Structure 1
Amino acid sequence: MRILVADHISEEALEKLRELGEVVFRPEISREELLNEIRKAEVLVVRSRTKVDREVISKGERLKVIARPGVGLDNIDLEAAKERGIKVLNTPGAVTEAVAELVFAHLLSLLRRIPEANESLRKGEWIKKDLIGEELYGKTMGIVGFGRIGSRVAEISKAFGMRVLVFDPYVKAEGFEQVDSLDELVRKSDFVSIHVPLTEETKGLFKEETLKNMKEGAVLINTSRGGVVEQKALFKFLKSGRIRACLDVFEREPPGEDALFSIGTEKLSVSPHIGASTIESQRRAGLELVDRIKEAMGLG
């Protein structure tokens, strides 16, 4: 069995894959090289960086499995894979803790003004009186999407002493207060955390009309997919000071020199799609993926 690994995965997972067959490890593979290498592969392992579209899938004459350590599958043409009878695997449970913790890392950093405190102190300044922050306790956390990550964020929010509101038309949020519409959630929440996949239904879900209904000074947190939020509309509201945001994902990745980054750290906290980037998460995702590949290939 030939396994093409087109992105970085943990060394432990790589060793486990080598026990299953021949592994071609090409973490920085170009599209042209991918189109060539995929012809000989039975298993393709990718992360979000690698786009597996219809053209790539059509070249995979021997391809049986496309495996993605992580949650999102929006970089894979699922319809094309289905037509070819190719199994598409992911590891949604492996990244739950890492992404949920990043939500609060961003939020606390923004509210307690950690970047400003850090930078000023390194400049030799002592501006303690200027760095008045905000607490989580007693605030309302609105969660959009009550899957593994959304439900974990709800649990952590509750532990911080926050009121939790949930909007998810497909899942019952046992033990938490559920609202009937997205607009109701954004009107009532101090913080809004997004945990939905990028689909035709969720693309541009947070458009100008939705953002303008958020509370004055509320914080939008997106660790799911950039396309769920209309970035131009978000920029407009951030620039006006109407709302704030914590973003780990963007409409285009890497985003380059986007106007969004002209917004100061007191209004915007950003990171380069590192939600699943912890040692523990990468290990879990890699090992779970190996098990799923073994099962899919009848080796379990």
Structure 2
Amino acid sequence: MKVLISDNLSKSGVEILEKAGLEVDVNTGLAPEELKAIIGEYDGLVIRSATKVTANILDAAHRLRVVGRAGIGLDNVDIPAASQRGIVVMNAPDGNATTAAEHAIAMMMALSRNIPRACSSMKAGKWEKKKFMGREVTGKVFGVIGMGRIGGIAVSRAQGLKMKTIAYDPHLPAEIAEKLGVELVSLLELAKRSDYISVHVPLTSETKNLVSSEFFENMKKDGMFVDCARGESVMRKHCMTHLLIIKSAAQPLMYLQTNPLTWKTARFSVWIISSVLPISGPRPVKPRKM
């Protein structure tokens, strides 16, 4: 079986495939037309997030039997097109689930204690001890949007901090939610009740732009928002509007995807009240060695 790895993968990951008796080619940074030109030679394709496996690519994949995603998200794979062609699409759902959940908790704590702003102040040579007073998370309401593996781990971590947990997930059975100790609520109720909100949904047609202007309008004035999922699940234009209007503005913490946004009106004054990180934030070394 001949396998193509088209995105960066650790050496140990390549060795695992070779030890299994597979013939492995590593060819990264391919343009779509370049991938299409060679994909017909392979039985398997291993990707991360850079390679886009479109129907056009799959049309040329005459031998392809499996697409393996070394990670969780599958929004870069045309799954219906693959299924129509009898190609199995697999991911690694546990790959960085704990890491992403812990990263969200870390960001929540950083915002709660004003660490990003206080750090910037210190770097500017200031000593503003009273300006950046934080608050405790104990007893606060932690709202999760999306109760998959990552959301479930985030909830368990929040419960360990003695927080009350609520969640929005139309696909989670009530009996499972009860076992997890989380109360299921509507999206707007979650916005209204939560002191901290964390997004953990995959990018699908159902979740794209899920968090809208109405959501931000209903948040508590001192609520905090962390998005450790795909950035496209949040209507970022509306998020920026609410950041800059500052309805005491729910200090959101946003993620940028691979291509950074250009917020012309923001002029990065967003840094005054929040933190913006690249999506590589929740990726430690260990889960990447796949």
Q: Which structure 2 residues correspond to residues 105-116 of structure 1 after superposition, within 5 A?
A: 105-116=106-117
CA distance in structure 2 between the aligned counterparts of 1:107 and 1:2, rounded to whole angstroms = 44
1:254-288 deviations in whole A, cap 9, x for unaligned? 124334562433422222112551112213xx1xx
Superposition CA RMSD, Å? 1.8
CA distance in structure 2 between the aligned counterparts of 1:116 and 1:54, rounded to whole angstroms = 45
Structure 2 letter corresponding to 1:114? I
Is 1:238–1:263's contact at 8 Å kept on the other side of the alignment?
no
Correspondence for 2:14: 14
Correspondence for 1:201: 206
Q: Which structure 2 residues correspond to residues 1-300 of structure 1 after superposition, within 5 A?
A: 1-19=1-19, 20-171=21-172, 172-173=176-177, 174-242=179-247, 243-250=250-257, 253-259=258-264, 262-274=268-280, 276-283=282-289, 286=290
Q: CA deviation at 1:150?
A: 0.6
1:2-60 deviations in whole A, cap 9, x for unaligned? 21111112221111112332222123222232122212111111112221111111111
Q: CA deviation at 1:177?
A: 3.3
**TM-score (normalised: structure 1):** 0.88
Q: CA deviation at 1:89?
A: 0.4
Is 1:276–1:282's contact at 8 Å kept on the other side of the alignment?
no
Change in 2 beyond 3 A, CA 1:119/1:234: closer
CA distance in structure 1 between the aligned counterparts of 2:117 and 2:261, rounded to whole angstroms = 23
Is 1:248–1:274's contact at 8 Å kept on the other side of the alignment?
no
Alignment partner of 2:134: what SS?
A: coil
Structure 2 letter corresponding to 1:165? I
Alignment partner of 2:103: what SS?
A: helix
**TM-score (normalised: structure 2):** 0.90
Structure 2 letter corresponding to 1:262? F
Out of 26-35 and 140-149, give the one that drifted further: 26-35
CA distance in structure 2 between the aligned counterparts of 1:276 and 1:68, rounded to whole angstroms = 17
Change in 2 beyond 3 A, CA 1:37/1:268: farther
CA distance in structure 1 between the aligned counterparts of 2:201 and 2:281, rounded to whole angstroms = 14
Alignment partner of 2:95: what SS?
A: helix
Structure 2 letter corresponding to 1:3? V
Is 1:224–1:249's contact at 8 Å kept on the other side of the alignment?
no
Is 1:144–1:196's contact at 8 Å kept on the other side of the alignment?
yes
Change in 2 beyond 3 A, CA 1:232/1:124: closer
Alignment partner of 2:94: what SS?
A: helix
Change in 2 beyond 3 A, CA 1:168/1:238: same
Q: CA deviation at 1:179?
A: 2.8
CA distance in structure 1 between the aligned counterparts of 2:251 and 2:140, rounded to whole angstroms = 15
Alignment partner of 1:24: what SS?
A: strand
Is 1:70–1:276's contact at 8 Å kept on the other side of the alignment?
no
Is 1:191–1:219's contact at 8 Å kept on the other side of the alignment?
yes
Correspondence for 1:295: none
Is 2:100–2:150's contact at 8 Å kept on the other side of the alignment?
yes
Out of 182-191 and 193-202, give the one that drifted further: 193-202
Structure 2 letter corresponding to 1:27? T
1:78-109 deviations in whole A, cap 9, x for unaligned? 01000110000001112111101110222222
Structure 2 letter corresponding to 1:119? S
Alignment partner of 2:288: what SS?
A: helix
Is 1:43–1:66's contact at 8 Å kept on the other side of the alignment?
yes
Unaligned 5+ residue runs, structure 1?
Answer: 287-300
Out of 117-126 and 210-219, give the one that drifted further: 117-126
Structure 2 letter corresponding to 1:210? F
Q: CA deviation at 1:64?
A: 0.8
Name which structure has the greater RCO, CA cutoff 8 Å, separation 6+. 1
Question: Sequence identity of aligned pairs in percent?
Answer: 33
